[in-house]
């Protein structure tokens, strides 16, 4: 048995701005999807090409996040 996972639309209008606390990320969530989106995952790409998961459980109603340690 093969289970197919739906490809959902990513957030749009992503912006990143440096603040005194870190990098402020802001986005617009995608329109209602089927199946419904239950949370987002935030990943960053390191200089060596490796992906790092920063946050695994971002609520669907969150549209901005301050992340420390990022280089814009």
Q: What is the pLDDT of residues 20-67, one digit of tens each?
A: 999 999 999 888 766 777 888 888 888 899 998 988 889 888 999 999
CA distance 39 to 21: 24
- The reported pTM is 0.73
Q: Select from 26, 36, 30 the least CA-distant residue to 67.
A: 26
Which pLDDT score is estimated for 24? 94
Domain boundaries, the chain: 12-67
CA distance 9 to 17: 23
Q: 9: pLDDT confidence band, cut at 50, 70 and 90? A: confident
């Amino acid at each position: 048995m093969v289970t197919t996972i739906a490809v959902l639309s990513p957030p749009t209008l992503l912006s990143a701005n440096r603040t005194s606390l870190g990098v402020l990320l802001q986005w617009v969530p995608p329109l209602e999807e089927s199946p419904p989106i239950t949370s987002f995952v935030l990943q960053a790409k390191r200089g060596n090409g490796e992906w790092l998961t920063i946050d695994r459980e971002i609520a669907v109603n969150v549209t901005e996040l301050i992340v420390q340690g990022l280089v814009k």
